[in-house]
Amino acid sequence: MPTPIWLFDLDNTLHNASHAIFPAINVKMNVFIQRLLEQRGLPSDEAVVNALRFDYWQRYGTTMQGMVKHHQVNAAEFLHETHAIDELASMVRAERGLLRLLRRLPGHKILLTNAPRRYAHELMRQLGLHRDFRRQISVEMMRVHGHMRPKPSRQFLRKLLARERVRASRCVLVEDTLANLKAAKAVGMRTVWITQFLPNQSTLVSRPSYVDVKVKSVRRLAGNFRRLSA
């Protein structure tokens, strides 16, 4: 395999977002969604709001897209309000020596996250990884023909390959979300499933056929490199 290009997801891949950050973002999203439903005279109790947020996330890959599509909200406004977390630094939970571990990988690294730019940049700085990634691709940058196309959009992944001028087989997507790995595999990329930060029992699920390597942590990437190259 020629030198790979590593595409890293951010939340629950490079750090434990389920610990405190996702709960904080979910609260902010609920506040936003509830206010909007209330203003429009729609049912807005907690169960409705939670179900809506989760449904959009599952259907589209981001809650934001559902809010834009079905409620005509302004994407930038929604992203800003829901990801503005003052105490981010104290909420970050990541593995020790992450930078050293990632530096052991041959080839360059690109961040590919469905999170907004400001949040992703701040988090990468907190993690000490910001200088080691060639590019940080956030949700605002994932567009095809002017439309937002975040992961798991195959259209966007193909566009990314064309822009980077690389063959899909050279790219490795490292992720916790299976739908995104499935899309990456469909366009010809290699796939690594990171399981340790998943809040449910997904770690017990066996490796799906579109996952090349299943590991608990990005720590195990270097050790599994040969399996990816095979």
Binding stretches for Mg ion (CB under 5 A): 9, 11-12, 176
Whole-angstrom CA distances from 104 to 2, 100, 110, 208, 224 are 16, 7, 15, 27, 12
Q: Measured from the CB of residue 127, what is the shortest distance to Mg ion in angstroms?
A: 14
Query: Nearer Cβ to Mg ion, position 44 or 126?
Result: 126
| Cβ density class 134-172: b for 16+ within 10 Å, e for less | eebbbbbebeeeeebbbbbbeebbebbbeebeeebebbb
Amino acid at 161: L
Amino acid at 210: Y
Q: Measured from the CB of residue 76, what is the shortest distance to Mg ion in angstroms?
A: 21
* Residue 112 near residue 151, CB atoms below 8 Å: yes
Query: Nearer Cβ to Mg ion, position 11 or 212?
Result: 11
Q: Measured from the CB of residue 206, what is the shortest distance to Mg ion in angstroms?
A: 20
* Residue 163 near residue 137, CB atoms below 8 Å: no
Query: Nearer Cβ to Mg ion, position 70 or 216?
Result: 216
Read out DSSP for 30-71?
A: HHHHHHHHHHTT----HHHHHHHHHHHHHHHSSHHHHHHHHH
Query: Nearer Cβ to Mg ion, position 48 or 178?
Result: 178
To 10 degrees, what angle do helices 46-60 and 63-71 make? 110
Query: Nearer Cβ to Mg ion, position 6 or 34?
Result: 6
Cα–Cα dist 100/109, whole Å: 14
Q: Measured from the CB of residue 17, what is the shortest distance to Mg ion in angstroms?
A: 7
Query: Nearer Cβ to Mg ion, position 176 or 212?
Result: 176
Q: Measured from the CB of residue 9, what is the shortest distance to Mg ion in angstroms?
A: 4
Cα–Cα dist 116/102, whole Å: 23
Q: Measured from the CB of residue 197, what is the shortest distance to Mg ion in angstroms?
A: 8
